[in-house]
């Protein structure tokens, strides 16, 4: 894939960044970066005549106001090794292109994921798809040993069937979800941000959060301004419902009315002046709140 060279990204091309016990993420190639987003937004094909600060400001404006198409001009291709249960969560994001190793064609490797002892936890009482509560260290090791024994039996049975000449597409069907798979995954920056917003969230399963963290660290090398804006407005921002937004405006107006006297009408700090309140209300009224 042809690309505009980004020195920071060139330094990490083809490096395997470890994830979990046997997984990794490797940046295979990329197309564009911050400059490509700016050029696309300005419909410009040259180096550009704006300063770095102005370019960063434009990127921030685009992301804050959800002008997404310029970010689709940047593409990243990753080689990823991950457990199948993580892959099945990952594949829910259908806005990427991927090619996965085929168990019909290849004999699968004896690579299985076993969670670290500190990650062995009980079912959450208030989250049907999460874990909560530490397990006794001795019990955690017993559970880890059970995982390993089950994986060894399953892989032994699989290899026996393969060696007996059974079709690989049938021999594989009893392999567990902890088996590692590999794929090439190509995605544009806009859709990568959507993936990261969901998979870096604390409600996502820890294993996929770890992969998302590595992907984000790599993306920062390719498009640092874009990633900084994404972190500010998406990861650290808050979106309001209509009712919440109306209540925020009501409280701001009440606080603004109180600035002339001693009672500010809310829990706003004294430095929040009438002028600041007016600017903020104008921003959240006319812009897309984050």
Catalytic residue ranges:
199
Q: Are strands 180-188 and 97-100 parallel, antiparallel or unpaired?
A: antiparallel
Alpha helices in the chain (DSSP H): 7-10, 34-42, 52-64, 84-90, 137-163, 168-171, 189-199, 206-222, 224-230, 242-257, 274-286
CA angle in degrees (0–180, nearest 5) for 55-192-207 = 135
SS (H, E, C) 202-268: CCCCHHHHHHHHHHHHHHHHHCHHHHHHHHHHHHCCCCCCHHHHHHHHHHHHHHHHHHHCCCCCCCC
Residue with tokens 């960063």: 56
- Both tokens assigned to 234: 């998406």
Q: Contact 248/227 with Cβ under 8 angstroms?
A: no
For residue 225, which phi and psi values (nearest 5 degrees)?
-70, -45
- Both tokens assigned to 50: 């704006």
CA atoms within 13 A on the CB side of 42: 17
């Amino acid at each position: 894939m042809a690309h505009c060279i980004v020195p920071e990204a060139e330094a990490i091309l083809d490096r395997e960044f470890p994830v979990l016990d046997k997984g990794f993420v490797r940046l295979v190639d990329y197309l564009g970066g911050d400059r490509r987003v700016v050029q696309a937004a300005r419909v410009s094909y040259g180096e550009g005549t704006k300063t770095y600060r102005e370019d960063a400001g434009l990127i921030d404006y685009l992301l804050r106001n959800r002008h997404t198409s310029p970010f689709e001009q940047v593409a990243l291709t990753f080689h990823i090794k991950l457990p199948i249960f993580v892959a099945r969560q990952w594949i829910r994001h259908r806005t990427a292109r991927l090619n996965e190793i085929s168990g019909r064609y290849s004999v699968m490797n004896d690579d299985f994921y076993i969670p670290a002892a500190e990650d062995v936890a009980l079912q959450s009482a208030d989250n049907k798809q999460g874990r909560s509560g530490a397990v006794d260290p001795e019990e955690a090791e017993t559970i880890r040993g059970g995982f390993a024994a089950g994986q060894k039996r399953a892989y032994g049975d699989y290899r026996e069937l393969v060696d007996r000449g059974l079709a690989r597409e049938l021999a594989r069907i009893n392999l567990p979800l902890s088996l590692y798979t590999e794929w090439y995954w190509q995605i544009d920056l806009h859709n990568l941000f959507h993936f990261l917003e969901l998979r870096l969230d604390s409600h996502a399963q820890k294993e996929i959060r770890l992969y998302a963290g590595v992907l984000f660290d790599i993306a920062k090398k390719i498009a640092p301004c874009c990633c900084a804006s994404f972190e500010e407005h998406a990861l650290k921002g808050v979106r309001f419902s209509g009712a919440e937004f109306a209540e925020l405006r009501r409280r701001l107006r009440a606080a603004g009315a109180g600035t002339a006297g001693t009672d500010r009408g809310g829990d706003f700090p004294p430095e929040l002046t009438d002028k600041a309140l007016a600017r903020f209300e104008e921003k959240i009224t006319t812009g897309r709140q984050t």
